Amino acid sequence: MRALVTGATGMVGINLIEALARGSEFQTVALVRPTSDISALPREGVELRHGDMAEAQTLADVCEGIDVVFHCAALVSDWGMREEMIRVNVKGLEALLGSAVKHGVKRFVLVSSMAVLGNRPQVNVDESAPYVVTGDNYNFTKMEAEKLALRWQRERGLATVIVRPPYIYGPHDRQFFPRLITAIEREKFIYLGRGDNPISLCYVGNLVDALMRAARSERAAGRLYHITDGPPVTRRQLVQFLSDELGLLRPQKRLPIGLAKVLMHAMETKARLTGATEAPLLNRFRVKFLHTPLSFSIRRAQEELGYGPAFTFQEGMERTLAWFKANR
């Protein structure tokens, strides 16, 4: 079978392509822009195909000869960029779905996000939870993307599977965990509240395993799956683990959550009034990551996909930090 991977030069895409290239089940096709840095992709066993999720007209025939699409591409931001996000996350997806139907793709696996469930506290939430509109552009475009995929399944017969991870970490992450580590290194990290609220995370190796299972399983067509590392950790456990493994001082500073939310609203209001293009220091996205209880059930994936997870939080973190130290 031939598998097309979008977002091929991002963290999820690179790790997925590496896994596909190690096996013999799939011939791998990576969707890249002509200007993409492809240095991290395997040099053998991977075909390059040009297309741009921001330019729908370039996607009409990218699925020619493809059996399975792994759609890992998305534009992520916690501030602004509404039109760009709609162009990539919604209109680009619609063009890709059209190409998949046109060329007879057998399975379309969409990487979505727990962001569609909003910013409220979430404890062991399963796939029956409704969408929650937050007003931020990432939340909106990921909801629209899921609705699109489900509509094409229902109306056009395209066998789609939606996989929702929470915060993803792992080798080739150059945004999420590097920023957290930098804050710890510079002694600028501050807990919001006590740091004892749970958060579900997802090591990229676990997500890759789930994506491949979703592509293989006949039962998965038309289904939605939450994928995490299993048991959640607290923010304090996460930060202390990183600090200890890197030989850094454990952060001790705390900001009461009530005060943090007051500051968040003030900073967001000022940023909007001034037309700021950069996210304020505190916004809803960051308060959610640093404080809100966020844990999710993976029971459906365990029962229907035989999902593990293969790596524990500690194993995933150790692999991530080994890569981080070697690639700083």
Domain of residue 131, CATH code = 3.40.50.720
Residue 301: pLDDT band with limits 50, 70, 90: very high
Residue 32: pLDDT band with limits 50, 70, 90: very high
pTM: 0.95
Sheet with 68-71, side-by-side order of all strands: 46-50, 27-32, 2-6, 68-71, 107-111, 160-164, 224-226
* pLDDT given for residue 24 in this prediction: 82
- pLDDT tops 80 at residue 117: yes
In a domain, 189, yes or no: no
Residue 177: pLDDT band with limits 50, 70, 90: confident
- Give the whole-angstrom CA distance, residue 328 versus residue 318: 15
- pLDDT tops 80 at residue 78: no
In a domain, 192, yes or no: no
The pair of structure tokens assigned to 106 is 């057998």
Reported as a single tens digit per residue, the pLDDT across 221-276 is 999 999 999 999 999 999 999 999 999 999 999 999 999 999 999 999 998 888 88
* pLDDT given for residue 175 in this prediction: 83
Residue 283: pLDDT band with limits 50, 70, 90: confident
Reported as a single tens digit per residue, the pLDDT across 36-54 is 999 999 988 899 999 999 9
Mean pLDDT in the chain? 95
In a domain, 209, yes or no: yes
In a domain, 302, yes or no: yes
* pLDDT given for residue 305 in this prediction: 98
The boundaries of the domain holding residue 132 are: 2-173+202-229+296-310
In a domain, 252, yes or no: no
Give the list of residues 6+ apart from residue 133 with CB closer than 8 angstroms, or none.
118, 139, 140, 143
- Per the structure, how many domains does the chain have? 1
In a domain, 39, yes or no: yes
How many other β-carbons are positioned within 10 Å of the β-carbon of residue 253? 9
